[in-house]
Amino acid sequence: MTLRPPRDALLASAVFVAAAAAVTVAWQLLGHAITDVPLYRTYGERIASGLVPYRDFAFEYPPGALPALVLPALVTDSLTAYRVAFAAEMAVLGALGVLLLAEGLRGLGRTGTDRRVVLATVALLPLLLGGVILTRFDLLPAALVALALALLLAGRLRAGALIVGLGIAVKLYPALLVPLLAITAWRKGGRRELGIVVGLAALPALLAYLPFTVLAPDGVLDSIGRQLGRPLQIESLGSGVLLALHHAFGLSLGWASGSGSQNLTGTGPDVVAVLLAIGQVVAVALVWASFARGPATPERLARHAAAAVVAFVALSKVLSPQFLVWLVLLVPLVGGPRSRAALWLAVLACALTAAWFPVRYWELVREFDPLASWLVLARGMTLLALLAVLTWPATERARARSRSPAPSPGRT
């Protein structure tokens, strides 16, 4: 990895931060911001005052998220100051994430116009995600995944595995990369390398959870259980289908707030949530199996890492807008003939989200706003299309071979 980032990477990083800051401030001034920052501040102040998460109060995130939430509470004493400090944290992480993405592109040999298009697109994506990109902590795991991929693509498998483990400790979704690392390790060094790599990926998460598991095992289990048992969020693909049926055929739907989101209620949504969960597990497993069937090249590793995360996001029963932040620093690494299609589908998914979030979100929830409903469905279908692009078997051109016709028996 290079210590001195190239000029194009620095420029993209600066534009990314400027765009994210500008749109975040704009939504705040317009009064449309929907943010988790007040919740983060509550967590941070409780911990700063000596309370223990999971034991003294319910905490829904993995323990690796705590530093990002606590640090602003240690240096500020008001919500406004906390908001600025937290956004500054995320801006720094976003800047580093873009630099790490550029390093990953370098490791894949992506240069010239292709590299410039990718960096320019990523630099401007906060214009579409400004409602969430600096008001959620998802840039932290996204930047860690970008660092892990940069290391993996440079051939540093063990270091990459350790960083993946740090990502798991912050937000669980980087665990989707562990089977890909295991396959790569097995092929590189057999059983011993497999054990080392998987152990390195598991170690940070185990160390992060261990003290809280000792202090408050019930609280930790409750935190994990609440995430696994969440109902069908109104922003998910499954909800998009049900909302479409509601508007097209009059399907009766209800909603309620719970588990930190607004969700569709009733038997139908419960069934759809189960079907989505099954589909999610199957889709992610198929991505892992696809990687196992081919060579563990850097290009295939990057593509299948993106595909695993996209499968998880697209078929999740909870699909908050900030989940798209996970894709911003990952999908652009996909190279080859499908790279442009993957990049523009990711951009389209962000644009469709921006068309209704945050400005039409409460109309979607309270009134099942028709435009927002169809946009939710369109966003979900776009993510499925992105998954198809990432996983569709590559077609290789048959090599042209000139063969001399074999002489027929008996001919002279």
Instruction: Give tens-digit pLDDT for 72-90.
Output: 999 888 999 999 999 999 9
The total of structural domains in the chain comes to: 1
Does 267 map to a domain?
yes
Mean pLDDT of 44-73: 94
Taking the CB of residue 152, how many other CB atoms lie within 10 A of it?
A: 26
For residue 73, tell me if it sits in a domain.
Answer: no
What is the overall mean pLDDT for the chain?
A: 92
- Note whether residue 244 is domain-resident: yes
Domain region containing 381: 229-392
Q: Is the pLDDT of residue 176 over 80?
A: yes
Q: Is residue 388 part of a domain?
A: yes
In the chain the first and final C-alpha atoms are separated, in Å, by 66
pLDDT of residue 226: 84
**Residue 93, in any domain of the structure:** no
Q: What is the DSSP letter of 257?
A: E
Residue 53 lies in a domain: no
How many angstroms separate the CA atoms of 186 and 173, rounded?
22
Position 2 scores a pLDDT of 62
pLDDT tier for residue 40 given thresholds of 50, 70 and 90:
very high
Please check whether residue 399 lies inside any domain of the structure.
no
Which residues have CB under 8 Å from 164's CB, separation 6+?
A: 144, 145, 148, 174, 175, 177, 178, 181, 201
> What are the residue ranges of helices labelled H in 138-294?
139-153, 157-170, 178-215, 217-228, 237-249, 267-292
Burial classification of residue 397, based on how many CB atoms lie within 10 Å of its CB (0-12 exposed, 13-18 middle, 19 or more buried) = exposed
- Quote the tokens at residue 70: 């606590």
pTM equals 0.92
Contact 234, 255 (CB under 8 A): yes
Q: What is the pLDDT of residues 351-361, one digit of tens each?
A: 999 999 999 99
Does a structural domain hold residue 111? no
Contact 80, 41 (CB under 8 A): no
Question: Mapping DSSP to helix (H, G, I), strand (E, B) and coil, where does residue 296 land?
Answer: coil
